[in-house]
């Protein structure tokens, strides 16, 4: 058969399925002022927050007084006085003051709405005016020593934190200049933006330079201290690197010789450190198990003022330098700008006793007030009822609050089983207004002998926030939220572990009879997913994380399964926490999730619970949970807030998300509660309280049925907010929509459910959006399932097994991420942990699929690997792939996502009767003939080897290579890997004659799918226009792990010669996993059964490539490539552009993906006709 020509015109490639339809543009939401990931970190740790105590400060020029932010206003206080004088009073909240050197002005930050703008205050007159009008976030203003300039941080440029400076003259701010340019880093940051930031600026004492903190060149933390001239574009110099976490905030001594800053170097809490102004080794000035931050040196050099949380809340302290311990500067007397009075608030329970509660106190303008030493919290969530900030404090039941005269509103809430209370009062100037409110209990019962006990299984007592929390204060927080048990998960915040002192404590001594604080652990790895560890005996597992790039914990080992084994051996329960922020779509849109290892660990029996209501998307998480339940896995529902309980701004209070477990009446015990969680007698909620039974069996129980039938159920619900839906869900589908009452906040209903097969049912209730005072994006509650067994059969769902198999395939491919390859190899290869995924999940489905010879098979599932753009990326040269979209766009059409309509295609499949223990092998065969057929006598060999065979019809030599033959083979392999338990290490591609050449292209472009290839009487050299090299990462994998077997008839001289040329080409390109043999006495004919068996054995007996040999060979290629690029640039520089462009095209064809992205960059830069 004749050689195929693969040099097709680009205009004809991939245009089989084109569409001229254009999607309608959807309305875009407002653009946020900051473009950074993980907003809950920088909002708390960097942006100014409303706190009852002082949060930031600056010295008066005479060193006798300070200006500071407190309770959202600016205050002035002499250092020898207890009187604080209010300088500002709204309309927004004011922070971060800095006093001008001449004493005439104070620049500060005012928050009104989403923006933070710079404002100016004249202390003598009290007049204020706005300086910036960017609508951005502008923070940390600092005067230059001569008072002529202000430096500050702003997101005005691309919504990233950068340092700006502006001239100041006659009370006005000049045009700001961006001092620090923007740089996108290639480093694999997770908690920080890909764009470098610059924060915490301060002036050198000569006013010529600034020092700031930046993470340029760093993966973890906010970075080190840098110095640069205070002009735009000046090149900075790093003075010192350490991790830092947003709050270093350096300040120079008056003589300019030293820098004081805040650091947790080698510790768990931030303290004051001192270092030489030119860099060098620092030493600590303070020593404590609390935070001391925001230092400012007095102009006379005698004292350093700073903010401390040593008492729990925020306080201003003064440290003499040199000197002894610091002293607090108390503002026990406060002179306000407006007349005010006092609100005396008491809160009582149903017995008339004082009780803790969540409280909100606001004046007529909506401004928030709290007691002097209360912790002010701001609940950050996507509120869609009205734009306002939900702030609150926790009262122990008796508090005094200073408020302005006039109308004052009080809101109280205590958990989910008591009705919230609201009251409006008039406060007269100079008087005290008494407000007594009651929050009586309304118990939610589980029969007469059991009770529902609530717990938040995901709380962090301390996590680097403004306050310093203690177990005793955590008890108060839980009591105010009517929460019975707090699971404090000890965890790292980058290098530090703030709650390490509680390791091994278990049940904390601060617990009371009705409120328990229990210390557990969260194991951190953002690769596999975060784990909650409850009831762990002994100290926490260390190190408490894995997969941290560029650290000694960069390895993906230990996996979560390893951690689960260690924790289970010490009596703990293991759960996946905040699993899914959006609905995973592994079949159509594969992407990393925060629970990548979840299905593996569920299948291996490692998972005791899942946080269904969590710091994630409750509905998306429930969707994945349903799929696991459909496969017969029993996973209880839990709930955890991921509450950083010492934050001023957090997504919600301790207990926002909580799980109720049914326990026997009696004393509150953590072990009994954990056992109830393990057995699934739970419901998870952020609002509604639920009860549910099926066939008279409680949540977590099993109903046994001899046949399908209608089964009775009961459902109960109560909520403090109105709901939109209450539903019974069975096997992932809504079985009954239940009618809510007139107020949509309660129901008691019974009925019957049609049960036809084994599975599960549960009750859920929810809303589409937020409902105050539930401080979450939407209201959601779900019970754990009641399980149903019909005729003793296991639940089964091939669709869901395919879904998780797709998850595993994608995850297995991700293991080559470059930032994770730097680590030491795990003792047990990580891939060995993941290979069982498809086997285990499919094994949960008894109907594995038909066996034997199957004709006219129709497949339905697509894979991103077969998309048009992915085919072009992997199988064309970079320049050809890059120019393809332009050609399509020029035709006025749109490139279809997939080139194949599967419903119109037919395949032949042969499946051995029984899979090997490790799973089937799979051979996707590309024929030269148009029909789908199994070569003669291959079946017996496939049976012995345990290999599935598949081949497509209309995939012969007359079919388009890129638009049909290649995607058909990919889709066939993908669908069979979903339908049958296939060992991913034994997935091969093969072909005969022209089909073998197509198979070679597929093996080269898809080494992450095909582990080897059988080339039967057809091969080509690689590294040219017909078979270009794929992208670098794929080709390196091909070099190191793919095995190629050449099988040709002894008398087929042309193709034996082709094989020799092809293998020579392979070795030139550093591919050494080659095997070649000829079949005696035959010519150009398909391999017989013996040759097939020998080829499959050769593929299975893979030998590792010599790494030194491979490295030397690759070095030679890289050297040749570098010289080729040099010639291109030299020709272009010499004015020989046409020759340079021609050479670049030759280079693109020869080196393919190895030349990218530089070949593309040169084409865009120099050559119009080659420009992608």
Residues 268 and 124 in one domain: yes
Q: Does residue 11 register a pLDDT over 50?
A: no
| pLDDT at res. 1098 | 94
How many Cβ atoms sit within 10 Å of the Cβ of residue 37? Answer: 12
Under 8 Å between Cβ of 584 and 593: yes
On whether residue 932 sits in a domain, the answer given is yes
Instruction: Provide the percentage of residues in the chain whose pLDDT is more than 90.
Output: 74
* Confidence at residue 330, expressed as pLDDT on a 0 to 100 scale: 95
Residues 629-679: pLDDT tens digits?
999 898 999 999 999 999 999 888 999 999 999 999 999 999 999 999 998
pLDDT at 386: 39
Give me the residues paired with residue 172 across strands.
169
pLDDT by residue (tens digit) across 336-348? Answer: 999 999 999 999 9
Identify whether residues 177 and 247 lie together within a single domain. yes
- Considering the domain architecture, whether residues 545 and 694 belong to the same structural domain is answered as no
- Decide which of 778, 795, 812 is a domain's last residue: 795
527 plus 637 within the same structural domain: yes
Asked which of 608-612, 1006-1010, 1047-1051, 1136-1140 is least confident by mean pLDDT, the reply is 1136-1140
Q: Count of domains in the chain? A: 6
- Both 907 and 1038 in a single domain? yes
φ, ψ at 978 (rounded to 5°): -85, -30
- Which pLDDT does position 832 carry in this prediction? 41
Whether residue 1090 is contained in a domain is answered as yes
- Nearest CA to 913 out of 873, 940, 886, 950 is that of 940
**Six token digits for residue 375:** 């912790």
Q: Whole-angstrom Cα distance, residue 968 to residue 972? A: 6
Query: In the predicted model, is pLDDT for residue 532 greater than 90?
Result: yes
Instruction: Using pLDDT thresholds of 50, 70 and 90, give the confidence band for residue 1169.
Output: low
- Specify if 895 maps to a domain: no
Which residue segment(s) compose the domain that 361 sits in? 338-438
- Predicted confidence (pLDDT) at residue 810 exceeds the cutoff of 70: no
Distance CA 531, CA 507 (A): 20
Question: Cα angle at 705 between 704 and 710, to 5 degrees?
Answer: 120
Confidence check: pLDDT of 814 > 50? no
979: CATH: 3.40.50.1820
> Is residue 712 within 8 Å of residue 695, measured between CB atoms?
yes
pLDDT of residue 23: 28
| Range with lowest mean pLDDT among 29-43, 783-797, 847-861, 949-963 | 847-861
DSSP string computed for 483-542 = -SEEEEEE--BTTB-TTGGGTTT-B-TT--SS-EEEEEEEEB-TTT--EEEES--SSPPS
Q: Is the pLDDT of residue 590 over 90?
A: no
Domain assignment present for 22: no
Kindly state whether residues 730 and 817 are assigned to the same domain.
no
- Asked if residue 274 and residue 130 are part of one domain, the reply reads yes
CB 471 within 8 A of CB 507: no
Q: Which residues contact 1141 (CB under 8 A, 6 or more apart)?
A: 1166, 1167, 1169, 1170
> Is residue 784 pLDDT above 80, yes or no?
yes
Predicted pLDDT of residue 381 = 57
Could you tell me the CATH number of the domain that includes residue 724? 2.60.40.10
Report the 10 Å Cβ neighbour count for 133.
Answer: 11
Burial track 1030-1060 (b if 16+ CB lie within 10 A, e otherwise): bbeebbbbbbbbbbbbbbbbeebeebbebbe
pLDDT tens profile 16-65: 222 222 223 333 344 568 998 888 889 899 999 999 999 999 999 999 99
CA–centroid distance for 986 within its chain: 32
Q: Are residues 1135 and 986 in the same domain?
A: no
Among the candidates 1062, 1079, 1102, a domain finishes at 1102
**Tokens (6 digits) for 524:** 């951190």
CA separation (Å) from 296 to 77, 255, 283, 303, 308? Answer: 15, 14, 17, 9, 13
- Taking only the tens place, the pLDDT of each residue in 406-420 is 999 999 999 999 999
Q: Are residues 285 and 397 in the same domain?
A: no
The domain spanning residue 296 has which CATH number?
2.120.10.30
State the Cα–Cα distance between residues 982 and 980, nearest whole angstrom. Answer: 6
Residue 10 lies in a domain: no
Considering the domain architecture, whether residues 1052 and 1000 belong to the same structural domain is answered as: yes
Q: Give the model's pLDDT for residue 860.
A: 66
Two tokens at 696? 């008279």
End-of-domain residue from the set 1071, 1102, 1133: 1102
Is the pLDDT confidence value at 818 over 80? no
The Cα–Cα gap between 202 and 266 comes to 25
Residue 838 pLDDT exceeds 80:
no
| Phi/psi of residue 199, nearest 5 degrees | -140, 175
| Residue 247 reports pLDDT greater than 70 | yes
With a pLDDT cut of 70, the percent of the chain lying above it is 91
Average pLDDT over residues 72-85: 97
The mean-pLDDT minimum among 423-432, 478-487, 570-579, 794-803 falls in 794-803
Per-residue pLDDT tens over the stretch 712-734: 999 999 999 999 999 999 999 99
Task: Decide if pLDDT at 382 tops 70.
Answer: no
What pLDDT was estimated at residue 21? 28
Residue 547 three-state SS:
coil
If asked whether residues 1048 and 1124 sit together in one domain, one would say no
Model confidence at 847: pLDDT above 50? no
Residues 413-438, mean pLDDT to the nearest whole number: 97
Mean pLDDT of all residues in 826-841: 42
Closest CA to 972 of 887, 927, 909, 899: 909
Residue 865 lies in a domain: no
Banded pLDDT at 387 (limits 50, 70, 90):
very low
| Inside any domain, residue 1148 | yes
Decide if pLDDT at 685 tops 90: yes
Q: Do the Cβ atoms of 787 and 701 come closer than 8 Å? A: yes
pLDDT exceeds cutoff 70 at 820: no
Helix (H, G, I), strand (E, B) or coil at 93: strand
| Average pLDDT along the chain | 89
My answer on whether 837 and 939 are in the same domain is no
* Residue 792 binned pLDDT confidence (cut-offs 50, 70, 90): low
DSSP string, 264-332: -TTSSS-EEEEEETT----EES---SS-EEEEEE-TTSSEEEEEE-TTSS-EEEEEESS-SS-EE----
Q: What are the residues facing 1012 on neighbouring strands?
A: 988, 1043
* pLDDT at position 519: 98
CA-based R_g, the chain, Å: 34
Q: How many CA atoms lie within 13 A of 77 on its CB side?
A: 27
pLDDT in tens, 128-173: 999 999 999 999 999 999 999 999 999 999 999 999 999 999 999 9
Pairing type for strands 271-276 and 258-263 reads antiparallel
Closest CA to 378 of 659, 647, 778, 140: 647
Q: Is residue 57 part of a domain?
A: yes
Amino acid 809: pLDDT: 53
Integer angstrom CA distances of residue 932 from 426, 828, 853, 856, 906: 86, 41, 12, 8, 8
Q: Which residues contact 829 (CB under 8 A, 6 or more apart)?
A: none
Sequence-ordered list of residues with C-beta below 8 angstroms from that of 1137, at least 6 positions apart, any chain: 1131, 1166, 1167
């Amino acid at each position: 058969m004749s050689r195929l020509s693969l040099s097709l015109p680009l205009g004809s490639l991939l245009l089989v399925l084109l569409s001229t339809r254009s999607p309608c543009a959807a309305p875009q939401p407002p653009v946020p002022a900051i473009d950074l990931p993980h907003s809950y970190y920088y909002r708390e740790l960097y942006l100014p927050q409303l706190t009852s105590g002082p949060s930031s400060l600056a010295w008066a020029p005479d060193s006798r007084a300070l200006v500071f932010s407190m309770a959202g206003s600016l205050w002035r206080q002499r250092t020898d006085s207890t009187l604080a004088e209010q300088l500002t009073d709204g309309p927004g909240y004011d922070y971060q003051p800095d006093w001008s050197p001449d004493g005439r002005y104070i620049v500060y930050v005012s928050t009104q709405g989403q923006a933070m703008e710079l404002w100016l205050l004249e202390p003598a007159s009290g007049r204020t005016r706005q300086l910036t009008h960017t609508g951005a976030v502008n923070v940390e203003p600092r005067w230059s020593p001569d008072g002529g300039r202000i430096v500050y941080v702003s997101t005005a440029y691309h919504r990233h934190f950068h340092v700006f400076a502006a001239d100041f003259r006659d009370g006005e701010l000049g045009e700001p200049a961006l001092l620090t340019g923007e740089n996108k880093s290639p480093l694999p940051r997770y908690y920080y933006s890909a764009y470098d930031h610059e924060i915490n600026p301060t002036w050198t004492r000569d006013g010529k330079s600034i020092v700031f903190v930046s993470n340029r060149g760093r993966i973890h933390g906010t970075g080190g201290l840098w110095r640069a001239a205070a002009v735009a574009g000046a090149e900075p110099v790093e003075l010192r690197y350490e991790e830092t976490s947003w709050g270093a905030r350096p300040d120079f001594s008056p003589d300019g010789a030293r820098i004081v800053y805040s650091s947790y170097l080698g510790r768990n809490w931030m303290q004051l450190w001192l270092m030489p102004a030119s860099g060098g080794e620092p030493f600590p000035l303070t020593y404590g198990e609390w935070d001391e931050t925001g230092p400012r040196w007095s102009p006379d050099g005698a004292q350093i003022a700073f903010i401390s949380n040593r008492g729990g809340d925020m306080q201003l302290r003064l440290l003499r330098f040199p000197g002894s311990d610091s002293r607090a500067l108390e503002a026990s007397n406060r002179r306000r700008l407006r007349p005010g009075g006092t609100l005396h608030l008491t809160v009582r329970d149903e017995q008339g006793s004082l009780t803790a509660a969540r409280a909100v106190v606001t004046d007529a303008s909506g401004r928030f007030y709290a007691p002097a030493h209360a912790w002010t919290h701001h609940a950050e969530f996507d509120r869609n009822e009205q734009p306002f900030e939900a702030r609150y404090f926790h009262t122990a039941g008796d508090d005094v609050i200073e408020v302005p005269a006039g109308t004052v509103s009080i809101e109280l809430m205590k958990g989910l089983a008591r009705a919230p209370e609201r009251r409006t009062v008039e406060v007269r100037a100079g008087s005290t207004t008494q407000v007594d409110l009651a929050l009586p209990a309304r118990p939610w019962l589980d029969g007469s002998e059991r009770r529902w006990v609530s717990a938040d299984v995901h709380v962090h007592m301390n996590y680097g926030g403004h306050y310093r929390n203690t177990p005793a204060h955590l008890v108060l927080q839980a009591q105010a939220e009517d929460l019975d048990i707090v699971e404090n998960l000890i965890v790292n915040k980058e290098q530090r572990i703030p709650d390490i002192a509680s390791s091994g404590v278990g049940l904390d001594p601060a617990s009371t009879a009705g409120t328990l604080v229990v210390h557990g652990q969260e194991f951190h790895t953002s690769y596999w997913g975060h784990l909650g560890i409850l009831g762990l005996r002994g100290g926490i597992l260390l190190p408490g994380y894995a997969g941290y790039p560029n650290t000694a914990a960069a390895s993906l080992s230990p996996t979560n399964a390893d951690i689960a084994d260690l924790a289970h051996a010490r009596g703990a329960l293991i759960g996946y926490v905040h699993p899914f922020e959006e609905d995973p779509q592994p079949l159509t849109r594969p992407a990393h999730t925060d629970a990548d290892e979840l299905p593996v660990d569920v299948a291996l029996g490692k998972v005791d619970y899942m946080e269904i209501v969590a710091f994630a998307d409750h509905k998306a998480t429930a969707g994945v949970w349903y799929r696991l339940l459909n496969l017969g896995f029993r996973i209880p529902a839990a709930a955890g807030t991921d509450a950083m309980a010492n934050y001023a701004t957090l997504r919600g209070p301790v207990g926002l998300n909580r799980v109720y477990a049914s326990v026997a009446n009696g004393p509150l015990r953590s072990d009994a509660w954990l056992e109830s969680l393990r057995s699934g007698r739970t419901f998870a909620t952020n609002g509604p309280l639920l009860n549910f039974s099926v066939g008279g069996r409680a949540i977590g129980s099993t109903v046994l049925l001899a046949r399908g039938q209608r089964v009775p159920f009961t459902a109960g619900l109560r909520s403090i907010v109105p709901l939109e839906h209450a539903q019974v869900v069975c096997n992932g589908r809504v079985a009954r929509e239940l009618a809510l009452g007139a107020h949509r906040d309660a129901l008691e209903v019974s009925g019957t459910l049609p049960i036809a097969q084994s599975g599960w049912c549960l009750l859920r209730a929810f809303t589409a959006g937020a409902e105050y005072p539930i401080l979450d994006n939407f209201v959601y509650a779900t019970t754990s399932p009641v399980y149903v067994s019909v005729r003793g059969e296991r639940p089964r769902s091939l669709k869901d097994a395919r879904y998780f198999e797709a998850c595993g395939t994608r995850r297995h491919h991700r293991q080559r991420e470059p930032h994770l390859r730097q680590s030491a190899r795990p003792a047990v290869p990580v891939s060995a942990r993941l290979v069982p995924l498809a086997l285990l999940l499919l094994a949960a489905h008894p109907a594995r699929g038909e066996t034997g010879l199957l004709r006219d098979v129709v497949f339905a599932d697509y894979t991103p690997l077969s998309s048009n753009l992915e085919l072009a990326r992997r199988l064309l040269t970079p320049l050809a792939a890059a120019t393809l979209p332009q050609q399509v766009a020029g035709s006025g059409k749109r490139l279809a996502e997939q080139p194949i309509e599967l419903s119109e295609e037919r395949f032949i499949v042969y499946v051995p009767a029984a899979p090997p223990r490790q799973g089937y092998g799979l051979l996707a065969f590309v024929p030269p003939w148009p029909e789908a057929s199994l070569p003669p006598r291959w079946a017996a060999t496939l049976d012995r080897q345990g290999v599935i065979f598949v081949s497509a019809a209309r995939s012969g030599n007359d079919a388009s290579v890129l638009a049909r033959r290649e995607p058909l083979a990919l889709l066939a392999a993908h669908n069979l890997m979903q339908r049958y338990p296939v060992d991913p290490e034994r997935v091969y591609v093969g072909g005969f004659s022209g089909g073998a050449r197509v198979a070679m292209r597929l093996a080269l472009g898809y080494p992450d799918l095909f582990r080897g290839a059988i080339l039967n009487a057809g091969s080509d050299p690689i590294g040219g226009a017909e078979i270009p090299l794929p992208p670098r990462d794929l080709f390196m994998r091909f070099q190191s792990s793919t095995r190629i077997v050449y099988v040709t008839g002894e008398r087929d001289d042309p193709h034996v010669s082709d094989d020799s040329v092809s293998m020579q080409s392979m070795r030139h390109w550093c591919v050494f996993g080659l095997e070649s043999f000829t079949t005696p006495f035959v010519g150009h004919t398909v391999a017989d059964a013996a040759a097939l068996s020998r080829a499959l054995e050769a593929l299975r007996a893979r030998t590792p490539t010599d790494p030194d040999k491979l490295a030397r060979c690759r070095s030679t290629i890289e050297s040749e490539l570098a010289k080729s690029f040099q010639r291109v640039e030299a020709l272009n520089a010499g004015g020989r552009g046409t020759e340079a462009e021609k050479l670049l095209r030759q280079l693109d064809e020869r080196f393919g993906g190895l030349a990218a992205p530089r070949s593309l960059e040169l084409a865009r830069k120099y050559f119009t006709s080659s420009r992608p």
